[in-house]
Amino acid sequence: MMDYNASGYADYESRCIKQMEVLAKLVDDTNPKAVLEKMRLSICILSMMACMRISLIDAVLPQRGREVTAHFSPSRRGPVLQQLASTSRPGQ
């Protein structure tokens, strides 16, 4: 059985490879529309790579970033505790 994160990574990887193939076809095109499309594809590819990285590093809920694991990170405890304290006082 495949681990949730491994399947999430595989999804992002296959999407990323497809976008790279499309970008490879446009590399030599200098048409203004093609240049904009290359920029858009580059941003999409980098975004997918960031999601791939998160799915490997952040084992809990990779699609939602660090929302869960921030509670366990020493560098994030301060802001998380402040947020929890502000939401736990309903009268303010």
State pLDDT tens for residues 2-55: 444 566 788 889 999 999 999 999 999 999 999 999 999 999 999 999 888 877
Given the structure tokens 């301060």, which residue do they identify? Answer: 78
How far apart CA 9 and CA 19 sit, in angstroms, is 15
By the 8 A CB rule, do 56 and 3 touch? no
Question: CB under 8 Å to 2, separation ≥6 — which residues?
Answer: 10
The model carries a pTM of 0.58
* Residue 65 pLDDT greater than 90, yes or no: no
Q: Which of 8, 79, 80, 3 is CA-nearest to residue 50?
A: 8
What is the model's pLDDT at position 1? 38
